[in-house]
Amino acid sequence: MNRFNTKQRGQAMVESVVGLSYVIVPLLILLPFMSKLTGIQHRAEQASHYSAWERTVWKNRQPSQLPRRSGIYLARKSEADLARQIPWRFYQQDGNQIASSTNEQWDWSEHVHPLVEHQVQQGAAQDLQPLVKSNQDNPNNSDELDRFTRSSNGSRLPGVLNGATSTALGVISFMGFSLERDQFYRTNVSTQVENFYIEPFDELDLNFNSQSALLASGWNAAGPYHVKNRTRKLVLTNVMDNGVIRTAQRLMGILPFGKDLRPSSLKLGHVSPDVLPANRLCTYGTANCGG
């Protein structure tokens, strides 16, 4: 009986080809895509935090006890204006100046950061495009709000804390003092991601949703006259600041021991707000004031 000895060669090569084809190459293609998903998620979280924190500076509406006169410096910005700031702050390319207002036109196809762009369709001729998906059937690259959705609403404090603060503010409200009670802001930013051309990522339909909550200050005053308008109601001698009492003060001031009782000396209900430097008394965003 004849025996034939044969040698098998190329097994390691076959294993290497299989490993490269089904493991290494797909990983090399997917890892950049996965890392950019992390970047998009991080930007959604930053945007939600930003939306809440901005309400500590910018008011959504006119506060209570705001006097009608000159010298009022109120930082006010609508929800839509705040939302339009998000792409400029979190999605644009590095090295660009961030301003509270800009006259430049936004473009999702030109201004976005490289970490937010990727080749989502197969073919060498396909250019990089934003990974964040448009909210519309016909994308509008010039619209800042085209690639994300945002909501923000102010409400009262939840739970027991709301009851305690409402009771305290209710007591002092009899004196005419009031603060905004709807300053607990909940914000939500949602971003949908374009599908990748490799299975099963071509049917991923991934959506990043981030929420934030913050109790903004209800006290922020619009200048010294606004401070005076609000705090004057809390001064107990304010009720004595009237014509009858001032006349009595003048009559008593005639007496030798009554000079300190004159209205010019004893100022009932007097409020003197701390004086700020002149360069801080301005409307932010104007010339020489952050503009």
SS (H, E, C) the chain: CCCCCCCCCCHHHHHHHHHHHHHHHHHHHHHHHHHHHHHHHHHHHHHHHHHHHHHHCCECCCCCCCCCCCCCCCCECCHHHHHHHHHHHHHECCCCCCCCCCCCCCCCCCCECHHHEECCCCCCCCCCEECECCCCCCCCCCCCCCCCEEEEEEECCCHHHHHHHHHHHHHHHHHCCCCCCCCEEEEEEEEEECCCCCCCHHHCCCEEEEEEEEECCCCCCCCHHHHHHHHHHHCHHHHHCCHHHHHHHHHHHCCHHHHHHCCCCCCCCCCCCCCCCHHHCCCCCCCCCCC
pLDDT in tens, the chain (291 residues): 566 566 666 666 766 766 666 667 777 777 888 888 888 899 999 999 999 988 888 887 777 777 787 777 777 888 888 889 999 999 888 877 777 777 788 888 888 888 888 777 776 446 778 888 888 888 888 888 888 989 888 887 777 766 777 777 766 666 667 777 778 889 999 998 888 777 777 777 888 999 999 888 656 677 778 888 878 877 878 878 888 888 888 888 888 777 888 888 888 888 887 766 666 666 666 676 765
Whole-model pTM?
Answer: 0.71
